[in-house]
Amino acid sequence: MIGAGIVGNSLAYHLSELGWTDLVLLDKGPLPNPGGSTGHASNFIFPVDHSKEMTQLTLDSVRQYEAMGVFTCSGGIEVARTEERMQELQRRVSSAKAWGIDDVSIITPAQVKELVPYIDESVIVGGFYSPGVGIVDSLRAGTIMRERAQERGALSVFANTEVLGIDVEHGRITGIRTSRGDIATETIVVCCGVWSPKIARMAGALIPLTPAVHQMIDVGPVPHFKDTKGVIEFPIVRDMDTNMYERQDGSGLEIGSYAHRPILHDPEEIPSNEEAALSPTEFPFTEKDFTLQMEHALELIPDVLNDESVGIKYAINGILSLTPDGLPLLGETPEVKGLWSAAAVWVKEGPGVGRAVAEWMTNGESEIDLQSSDIARFYEHQRSRKHVRDRAAEGFNKTYGIVHPSEQWESNRNVRLSPFFLRERELGAAFFEAAGWERPQWYESNAKLLDEYGDRINRREAEWESRWWSPIINAEHLAMRDRAAMFDLTAFAIFDVTGPGALETVQKVSMRQMDVAVGKVVYTPVLSPSGTFKSDLTVMRLGHDRFRVVTGGAHGMADLKWYADHRPVDGSAQITDLTSAYCTLGLWGPRARDILQSLTSADMSNEGFAFASCRTIEIDSLPVLASRISYVGELGWELYVPMEQGAKLWDLVWEAGEPHGVVPAGIGVYGTTGRLEKCYRAFGFELDADFDVVEAGMAWGRVKAPEFIGKEAHVQHRESDPVAVLCTLTVDDHVSRDGTKRYMLGREPVLSKQGKALVDAEGRRSYVTSAGAGPSIGKHILLAYLPPENANVGEELLVEYLGEQYPVTVATNDSTPVFDPENARVKA
């Protein structure tokens, strides 16, 4: 382990807990504070986050800090200066309840004042009170964990020891060279925060983070704090609208900011411990960047700051790690076997990350799902210096931002363009980004369909839900159900598994039977060792020794690594990434067959081209791999051609489709409305490491005979009753107190009819995993795991959305779709 900050120490401890011995922890700095970001962290923890993964990691960290006796509970309040922020705070209440944190509440300015008497309540309109907020002694925690591992005899610690090189042979770690000697090892974890990219590069791997400035000042002594005991008595205040926080620290007050211009550095720019005037990660304060923040702080806490005797005693540009998507970088690097990353981790989630990564290294998975933080998630362009810096800069000022669930990045766009792009732009596509691809979410050219469908399309009255959304999505949906629609699915990740060991590889990784006839398409869950979801994807058998895996763009690179990692050791299987080689055009709807048949002499009839089969057909001069499956519940095909032939394919299908009334349709239909009417599950929403296949209602058919990862657990899951059941719910009444119709967007808590949280026997909360319109059934559809006692068709429940409760009813309690339950359309 390279780096003795909160992450390295925690990792050392948890690895030793899991039975590892011969552990070595290195740091180039002295102990207990080697000079990294842990040493100057503000050390407070607000547990609630909209991300389940981050909240779980933070809650686990709090438990660990508490057990070590280094957590001081102070409570915390996020204050709002605007009504828009108040709505955001209501969303935070929802997220808190969805992730099992119940003691939070919305409070009035007067209540804020009562808890924090030194603020001026006239500048705020309310607050989100989180009593579980507290501060930790992260350096002490690190020392405790390190010493426990040492006491166990499992860990040697070398401070003041610099890494000079990392040895890699045949893509595997073999050793590390340091200023105090060399060590032979097969496993290295890079957990040195802002220095991580520099260290990983020694092994030929990329850790895509950038050091960035977070400004902090300490003022004091505050007369108001004269009689306080300990380090903190008053709740920490986050002034969300100004991107700042203020917290008591003994007799002083610490003020921090994420509001200043993004100030990014390179790891190479960080001074050595010897050269640094303070610590290497405490850069000189750039005062101009903080002027506006001082004015903002003065507005909120004039009683403290207007006092001329309260001086600014300390001010730094603290350096911390930012990533392109704001999430940590965890797991084995895709480039080098045995080289792990545990970087871009903040104090609030440090011990949780330490435990989870230790579990992953030991068992191949962790109790808390780390799918969003998996370092294998990036495509190459997303690891470029420019992308990392552009996105880190854009994300920095959103640290306390109101970020819509569908919000799009503005920087570094138009990187990956499908061959359909020019046509799509002509049609007025609203482009959303998927794995760097520009992908139409809907098309303005379809606005004319709004008249055609009139009242069947509901308009969203509230600005929040109409943001990043258009009623055209629902119109495209209806046109697809009535006629046919073309979809750009080029963002799929595609890779071939080939060679004599190909079948063995896909059998091992995939839950479903892969030893099928050539020309079959199999949709399969991919399981973790404990039988929960690692992914779900489709596999086409293109030949005896050739399997083509097609998976979602967002998680495609992690899936590729998972397959690659499970190839036979004899080298008999190869994996080829074809993501940038093929584009994908989806064509679905009742007229899809007529359109396609008019373009080809191949037999496209149900008998001639059965559901779940694939083969190459000729369309005009193009050999096209056609695969008859559907994620929108319609008759149709995915059509694959080499990138450069995509534009031709689009034009051919478009022209042939015109007499049939084909429309272009966006991912708003593919990913939400079409999918939800069919109750199809989505990875990262319904499917994650918290739930198993039986609970997800996907344990149809027999368990295949060959071994596969997670089989033993999966068989056990089938033999016992599920602890939760994935259900489809529909909303009965959308009208809010002020008369506006409101539409849930996902991640809201599901409550009993009496308004109580639903919790299953494993302590998991019921929350909305996906939400969206069902234009064909005329209802808003929600998916949620419910405890079995509530998973009854017709059961009436409530969903809490932005502080109000709405009645919902369970529509189905298995995978039966709410639209076309017989699946007649798909199999037409």
Q: Residue numbers of the site for another protein (CB under 8 A)?
A: 30, 219, 269, 271-278, 283-285, 287, 291, 294-295, 297-298, 305-313
| 257 versus 366: smaller Cβ distance to another protein | 257
CB environment 500-535: b (16+ within 10 A), e (fewer): ebbbbbbbbbbbbbbebeebbbbbbbbbbebbbbbb
| 39 versus 351: smaller Cβ distance to another protein | 39
Please pick, among 13, 129, 245, 631, the residue that the annotation labels catalytic.
245
The least distance separating another protein from the CB of residue 323, rounded to whole angstroms, comes to 24
| 130 versus 143: smaller Cβ distance to another protein | 143
Element (H, E) at 651: helix 646-657
Mark out the alpha helices in 166-226 (DSSP H runs): 196-201
| 246 versus 688: smaller Cβ distance to another protein | 246
| 286 versus 362: smaller Cβ distance to another protein | 286
Mark out the alpha helices in 99-165 (DSSP H runs): 109-115, 138-151
Alpha-carbon separation of residue 134 from 65, 118, 199, 236, 238 (angstroms): 10, 19, 33, 8, 13
**Neighbouring-strand partners of residue 339:** 188
Please pick, among 14, 49, 129, 214, the residue that the annotation labels catalytic.
214
If you compute the radius of gyration of the chain from its CA atoms, what whole number of angstroms results? 27
Cβ-based burial of 676 (10 A; exposed 0-12, middle 13-18, buried ≥19): buried
Maximal C-alpha separation, the chain = 88
The least distance separating another protein from the CB of residue 277, rounded to whole angstroms, comes to 3
Tell me the two tokens of residue 219: 């003022």
| 175 versus 271: smaller Cβ distance to another protein | 271
813 in Cβ contact with 725 (< 8 Å): yes
The least distance separating another protein from the CB of residue 220, rounded to whole angstroms, comes to 8
The least distance separating another protein from the CB of residue 747, rounded to whole angstroms, comes to 39
- Three-state DSSP class for 827? coil
Residue with tokens 């903002």: 296
Task: Check if 374 is active-site.
Answer: no
- Nearest by Cα to 772 from 691, 683, 669, 632: 669
Residue with tokens 């040895």: 167
| 308 versus 607: smaller Cβ distance to another protein | 308
The least distance separating another protein from the CB of residue 29, rounded to whole angstroms, comes to 12
Strand pairing category for 236-239 and 210-220? unpaired
The least distance separating another protein from the CB of residue 9, rounded to whole angstroms, comes to 21
- Nearest by Cα to 192 from 2, 391, 408: 2
Task: Check if 536 is active-site.
Answer: yes
First CA to last CA across the chain, in angstroms? Answer: 57
CA dihedral 605, 606, 608, 611 (to 10 degrees): 130
Please pick, among 369, 390, 536, 820, the residue that the annotation labels catalytic.
536
The least distance separating another protein from the CB of residue 289, rounded to whole angstroms, comes to 12
d(CA 316, CA 278): 9
527 in Cβ contact with 628 (< 8 Å): no
d(CA 758, CA 787): 7
Does residue 555 come out as left (phi exceeding 0), alpha (psi in the -120 to 50 range) or beta?
Answer: alpha
Task: Check if 214 is active-site.
Answer: yes
| 146 versus 534: smaller Cβ distance to another protein | 146
| 307 versus 804: smaller Cβ distance to another protein | 307
Which residues are catalytic, by number? 214, 245, 536
